[in-house]
Structure formats: structure tokens, C-alpha cells
Amino acid sequence: MRTEILDILRRAGEQYISGEEMANRLGVSRTAIWKHIRELREEGYDIISHSRSGYSLREAPDRLLPGEIRHGLKTRCIGRDIHFKETLGSTNTWAKQLAADGALDGTIVVTEQQTGGKGRLERQFFSPAGKGIWFSVILRPPFMPQEAPKCTLMAAVAVAMAMEKFGLEAGIKWPNDILFENKKLVGILTEMSAEMDRINYVVIGTGINVNILPEDFPEDIRDKATSLQLVNHGEKVPRVKFFQTMLEAMDKLYDEVLARGFAPVMDAWRKYSVTLGQEVRVIGVRDGEEYVGTAVDIDEDGALLVDAEDGCHRVLAGDVSIRPRK
């Protein structure tokens, strides 16, 4: 009901719409309209009222509410269904539950704050209230399970494309971290449920530091993390608009993947990469093996190819950490 009320108010522009007219259009009582208006105001909508003229929407909050995300969103699949909670332990956890219960391809889980967000290798991800974009996308692609890790690269490219549209410099550190001046902006974690020959679902969890100031970050990551606001010379970035832009980029990439495979995504990843051509140190997570070489490319599976003294190594996501050589 609140979505329909917002649609009516938006179409009216700066004109007033009476509670009686909205009630007649929606087939409810004026009291019901008044209650929904009150709830919308509590969510942060600036709705003014006039005793004779009715209601007018003057400003919408920059909050990741389903109605705000849907308004003006131009996607085919991603965002067809949006689930929101003010606070979550992890969007991936809820997304996996929804996926197991049959959630549609393209369903989104989003929150204003995560209390237990995690990145690759079980690292904690700082997700403060109202300052970032913390969300997960559920996909049900028809390709084979071994293709699923490339969805992580697709998500990284979508964020980089959105940053570019906002005039912000983006660089992807293999496999999926978005960096600016060697500080982390975005973390991505992909999880999957699959059988031998089919994917049940893929959940791509993404955390984007948007309007976080240096003093907001915990001391232990203050010199390693940054935000879109800081990249934008201190100017706040509108979270809803950026989120919509990123979802639209991911939607187009997903369509391309379904039609043509991952080759276009891999080419775009190479364009944004800050790893290729660099000397890197590879540290094995499982066996502790360590070597230095030059990152020369990614192969068709998304593995990083490192040219070292003893030959070319194929590095798989999740098995190693990549660090610039000191």
C-alpha cells in the first residue's frame, strides 16, 4: 500500500493530493491513508500536508528501502523482488535461506547495517548503519557449476562500471576487491548450492563503502579501507542512485553472460584490473607456499596467471592471497 501511495504522490509532483482522492483510487479508507502517510514519515519521507489540499511529497530519504530502489530502476531480472531489513547479521545468510525456499532469479536482499558481514577467507567486513550498501543477489543461472566463480568477477565489473558512471576511478584487485589508491572500497563473497551438473542457486554478497569517513573506520582497518565519499573529494554519494546504477550494470552483464558466456565480462575485468602487469607476491593459504612473479593475465576460468622464475603459475580464487611485492 505504501508503494502505491508513493507512486501517486510522485506522479503529482509538487501538487497536493487529498487523502480522500488517494483512498478512492486505492479502495481503502482515509484513515488507512493517514496511517500509511504517518509510517512513511517515520521512514524519513518528507511529506507535507495542507488541511484543504491534502498531501505532497517534497523529498525522499536516501535509504535502501524497496520502494526507493524500485522507483526508476531499469532492469530485466535483477531487483525483480527485494527483501529488506533494517539490520541483519549477514545478507548472504538470509539470501541463502530465501533461495532454498524458492526465491526467484534476480532476488535482492538488502540492509542498512550488517552485524556479521564476512568477506573472502572468513574475514570480517565492516558494515555500519546508513553509510554503505550491503546486499546480496540470488541468481539461478543455467550454466555448469564450474562457471559460478566467474559471477564474482561479474559483480566486481558491475561496481566498477557504476563508479565510472559517477566519475569515480575504479580498479579491481584480483579477484574481486575494488580499490582506490591501494585501499579497499568493496568486498564481494559468492556462495553456491549445486549438484554435479546443475546450479541450484548462486548468492553474490557485496559490501560497498559509500559515505564512510576516515574516523568511522575501526583503527585496525583505517589505513586499508576507503569509501566512495572519500574518492569523491569528500562529497557524499547518493546511495540509492548508485545502487540502482550498479544493479542496472549487473543486469546487463548477466544478460550478456546468459547469451554469450563470460568472455565480455573477462574483457571488462581486464580493463579495470590493477593487478595485471604488476609484480605480486603469492602466498598459499593452505600450504604456505610463497613466490613472487608478474601477474600477466587471467584465463578463461578467471584464474590469475603469474609468471615466476620457475614458470607460469595458475592461481585460483580462494586458494591464495595476492599482495604487491614490497
Alpha carbon distance 154, 204 (integer Å):
10
Angle of helix 263-272 versus helix 239-260 axis, rounded to 10:
140
pLDDT score recorded for residue 123:
59
Q: Classify residue 63 by its DSSP letter.
A: S
C-alpha cell at 220: 585496525
CATH topology of domain 278-322: SH3 type barrels. (2.30.30)
Alpha carbon distance 126, 132 (integer Å):
10
pLDDT score recorded for residue 208:
96
What are the sequence ranges of the domains in the chain?
A: 1-59, 66-272, 278-322
227 is in an annotated binding site: no
Which residues, in sequence order, are CB contacts of 230 under 8 Å at separation 6+? 180, 212, 213, 214
pLDDT score recorded for residue 288:
65
Q: What is the pTM of this model?
A: 0.87
Answer for the pair 88, 113: CB distance below 8 angstroms, yes or no. yes
275 is in an annotated binding site: no
Which residues, in sequence order, are CB contacts of 185 under 8 Å at separation 6+? 170, 178, 179, 208, 209, 225, 226, 227, 228, 231
- What is the identity of the amino acid at 100? A
pLDDT score recorded for residue 283:
79
211 is in an annotated binding site: no
Tens of pLDDT along the chain (326 residues)? 888 898 899 888 888 999 999 999 999 998 999 999 999 998 888 999 888 889 999 888 889 999 899 989 999 999 989 999 999 999 999 999 999 999 999 999 999 999 875 655 455 678 888 999 999 999 999 999 999 989 999 999 999 999 999 999 889 999 888 999 889 999 999 999 999 899 999 999 999 999 999 999 989 888 989 999 999 999 999 999 999 999 999 999 999 999 999 999 999 999 999 999 988 888 765 566 788 899 999 999 899 999 999 899 888 865 566 665 55
209 is in an annotated binding site: no
Q: Which helix (H) or strand (E) holds 272?
A: helix 263-272
Which CATH number describes the domain made up of 66-272?
A: 3.30.930.10
The strands making up 199-209's β-sheet, listed across from edge to edge, are: 82-88, 107-114, 132-139, 199-209, 183-194, 177-180, 171-173
Q: Which helix (H) or strand (E) holds 155?
A: helix 150-165
92 is in an annotated binding site: yes
CATH topology of domain 1-59: Arc Repressor Mutant, subunit A (1.10.10)
Going through the chain in order, the beta strands assigned E by DSSP cover 46-50, 54-59, 82-88, 107-114, 132-139, 171-173, 177-180, 183-194, 199-209, 279-284, 290-298, 304-308, 311-315, 320-324
pLDDT score recorded for residue 7:
87
Alpha carbon distance 259, 273 (integer Å):
24
